[in-house]
Chains A and B, each alone.
Chain A
Amino acid sequence: MSLDDMTTISNGAWRTCRESSLIEDDRPDTQWVDCMARIRSAQDQTAFVALFRHFAPRVKGFLIKSGASDSLAEEVTQEVMATVWQKAHQYDETRASVATWIFTIARNRKIDLLRKLNRPEPEDLPWAPEPEPEQSEVLVIQQESARLTTALAALPEKQRLLVERAYFGDLSHSEIAAETGLPLGTIKSRIRLALEKLRHEMR
């Protein structure tokens, strides 16, 4: 498929992803997970275009809020979205939403480029994400992530701005108190369970 083909079909692709999520109305939180699965299993470029249309403007907005100029933010957004394709196999839908995973990629590029620092990353887990994880476990993490987004939007403005400023890099590490006012207990215990399960299955 040529670049032109991909760009012209992109609107249709976006609709396809939306439609699948509308048909399965009880699973509204998994449309981006489905796109990632299609990129992994079939190098599905239409699924990538759908992800791009949703996330690229947000990644760029995040980078601008983090202090990048418009042109730098645009360039880094392209690199981040290309990384989403290249590292698609590393995404584990039992531990993170697609937005969370893309956030970590954008943050790492931001540290490289804006802070000009190396970013030591935790060692990869000694197992790959499960190729076909239990859908109930995927769903619960996606729903919890969506709830977190809703809870962030519902925070009192002063508190919400403090969280946002932390992630835009406006607070120094000594100013960060980690008291977000967000309900993080459930999502933490679900991630912990997913890690335990993976460790158990590796044995």
Chain B
Amino acid sequence: MVQHHIPDKFLMAYSAGVLPEAFSLAVASHVSLDDDSRARLETFDAVGGAVLDTTPAATISDDCLAATLALIGGKMPDALPPPPRPDSLFPAPLQDYIGGDLDAVKWRGVGMGVKQAILETADEATARLLYIPSGTAVPDHGHNGIELTLVLQGAYRDEGGEFHRGDIEVADESDEHTPIAFGPQPCICLAVTDAKLRFTSLLPRLAQPFLRI
């Protein structure tokens, strides 16, 4: 049962289509795991529907309908796609970026047993997977911008509480937090930032250019 949901403003921005790609990936992945957030997202989609409904009609050309029918080309509506595999670790939007489930991730070690994998998205923001062994702390860090952290396996705790699979944490520049993984499994998270992290201890700061975070 997901306890930490994404705030409304991210859902509205995602519904309006103005989030950076990496943030959209975090929102889509979280919504895949949390029915409450899905219901709130669909509510903001309904606001978009109301905007569409009240948008003044534009004049369409005389052959617009014929061109649309030509695009359809007499085909039957598509059959429903097969349902997603329920037993996978990563939700479908994340699998699209990784090219598979956990065994397809190209991890790079960054010390202390911590591993990461950067996912390819547009430059405005960065998405990466983090693998943190149980009992290990992610170096204390603050942010220049917003960071979203979505737990996919295991759990961590920090000043904001305990976070399990499906939970998402939002941190901004005022937050200095030290997440520590706990529980029987290593913690795997999707972390998204719209600005470079600044580490507050010396060693990670030296490693920062190498980490690309």
User: Are B80 and A149 closer than 8 Å at their CB atoms?
Assistant: no
| Known interface pairs A102-B52, A121-B28; A195-B35 also in contact (CB < 8 Å) | yes
User: Are B67 and A78 closer than 8 Å at their CB atoms?
Assistant: yes
User: Are B50 and A149 closer than 8 Å at their CB atoms?
Assistant: yes
CB-CB under 8 A from A180, the residues of chain B are: 12, 47
Q: Which residues in chain A, 31-56, are within 8 Å of chain B measured between CB atoms?
A: 39-40, 43, 45, 49, 52-53, 55-56
Q: A3-B66, A96-B46, A169-B16 are in contact. List 13 more A-B contacts (CB 8 A).
A: A39-B77, A43-B76, A57-B60, A95-B42, A97-B49, A107-B15, A120-B94, A122-B32, A126-B83, A172-B18, A173-B19, A184-B46, A199-B35
CB-CB under 8 A from B16, the residues of chain A are: 107, 166-167, 169, 171, 176
CB-CB under 8 A from A56, the residues of chain B are: 60, 64-65, 68
Q: Of A16-24, A132-140, A186-194, which stretch is located at the interface?
A: A186-194
User: Are A62 and B28 closer than 8 Å at their CB atoms?
Assistant: no
Residue in B20, B53, B83, B91 with the greatest tally of chain A CB atoms within 10 Å? B53
Chain B 162-197 interface mask (CB, 8 Å, partner A; 1/0): 000000000000000000000000000000000000
User: Are A65 and B55 closer than 8 Å at their CB atoms?
Assistant: yes
Chain A 159-203 interface mask (CB, 8 Å, partner B; 1/0): 000011011110111001110101010011101100110010000
Does A158 sit at the interface, judged by CB under 8 A? no
Q: Which residues in chain B, 23-51, are within 8 Å of chain A measured between CB atoms?
A: 23-25, 28-29, 31-32, 35-36, 38-51
Binding site of B, secondary structure by majority: helix, strand, loop or mixed?
Answer: helix
User: Are A77 and B64 closer than 8 Å at their CB atoms?
Assistant: yes
| Known interface pairs A82-B72, A119-B17, A123-B93; A152-B47 also in contact (CB < 8 Å) | yes
CB-CB under 8 A from B122, the residues of chain A are: 117-118
Using CB atoms and an 8 Å cutoff, list the residues of chain A in contact with chain B. 3, 6-7, 10, 39-40, 43, 45, 49, 52-53, 55-62, 64-65, 70, 73-74, 77-79, 81-82, 85-90, 95-97, 99-104, 106-108, 110-111, 115, 117-128, 144-145, 148-149, 151-153, 163-164, 166-169, 171-173, 176-178, 180, 182, 184, 187-189, 191-192, 195-196, 199
User: Are A127 and B83 closer than 8 Å at their CB atoms?
Assistant: yes
Q: Nearest chain B CB to A172's CB is how many angstroms away?
A: 6
| Known interface pairs A100-B45, A122-B41; A57-B28 also in contact (CB < 8 Å) | no
Residue of A nearest to B75 (CB): A86
| Known interface pairs A61-B55, A74-B61, A164-B51; A122-B38 also in contact (CB < 8 Å) | yes
Q: Which of A43, A82, A110, A177 sits near B68, CB closer than 8 Å?
A: A82
CB-CB under 8 A from B8, the residues of chain A are: 178
Alpha-carbon separation in the docked complex, A58 to B41 (Å): 22
For the complex, count residues of B whose C-beta is within 8 A of A: 74
CB-CB under 8 A from A118, the residues of chain B are: 21, 121-122
User: Are A192 and B39 closer than 8 Å at their CB atoms?
Assistant: yes
26 A-B pairs with CB atoms under 8 Å apart are: A73-B58, A78-B64, A78-B71, A85-B72, A86-B78, A89-B80, A96-B46, A99-B49, A110-B17, A111-B17, A117-B24, A118-B121, A121-B93, A122-B28, A122-B93, A124-B83, A124-B84, A124-B92, A126-B86, A144-B46, A148-B47, A152-B51, A164-B51, A166-B13, A173-B13, A192-B36
